[in-house]
Amino acid sequence: MTTRPQSREDSRSLPLDKGGSEKDTSEQKKVSTKQLVLGASFGVLFGFLLQKGGVAKYHVLIGSLLLEDFTVVKVMLSAIIVGSIGIFSLHALGLVKLHIKPTRYAANISGGLLFGVGFALMGYCPGTGAAALGQGNWDALAAIVGLMVGSYIFAEVSGGLENTVMKWGDKGKVMLPELVKVSLAKFLMVWIPWLMLILFAVDRLTVR
């Protein structure tokens, strides 16, 4: 099984695609009321799970950065393992389209590091910050104002960045199997057990 993440339209899954490809013909996605309701519903589920998992709590998130509390790692690795198997299976059945994010080395690294520093200061990330507010952590209000200000500042300089940093090391939509030049199926057969092994080790070696 080979995937062609470089192409915008994923040809092999089109006949059975129920992900809404016919709505996607224009670049501007049409926002239907149904999708707004679905978005809100998925958000409720997401927020519910984040809160129950404890990852809307300031000390759990800071604890993960202090390498004391591994709840975040456990939640993320479990989500990645289940989601990977699930989404690639749905894709193999032609039921969903993939949404591979582009790899831009300079932007991924510089943006990632800035994000990380901000994450420690804020104590939340964009998703868990919203969950923290819902849970009653009122300091998340200031964080959310900051998120909107930061987004607008980025928009201010977006033209310049797109012609510089975003172009440096721009590799397009590359997937890990392509880096090591094996098929997706073969890669997953090694990758998924490997992630499970890491998760098992984290479970054994950590207090929380």
Give me the least distance between CB of 66 and another protein, in Å please. 5
d(CA 167, CA 66): 33
Give me the least distance between CB of 25 and another protein, in Å please. 13
Q: Which helix (H) or strand (E) holds 153?
A: helix 139-163
Using the minimum distance from each CB to another protein, give the nearer residue, 12 or 78.
78
Give me the least distance between CB of 18 and another protein, in Å please. 7
Other CB atoms within a 10 A radius of the CB of residue 146 amount to 14
Give me the least distance between CB of 197 and another protein, in Å please. 14
Alpha carbon separation from 113 to 77, 92, 99, 104, 110 (Å, rounded):
20, 34, 23, 14, 5
Give me the least distance between CB of 38 and another protein, in Å please. 5
Contacts of residue 169, defined as CB under 8 A and 6 or more positions apart, other chains included, come to: 103, 104, 105, 106
Using the minimum distance from each CB to another protein, give the nearer residue, 12 or 166.
166
Output the CA torsion sign for 42, 127, 84, 70: negative
Give me the least distance between CB of 79 and another protein, in Å please. 4
Contacts of residue 188, defined as CB under 8 A and 6 or more positions apart, other chains included, come to: 84, 85, 88
Contacts of residue 12, defined as CB under 8 A and 6 or more positions apart, other chains included, come to: 4, 94
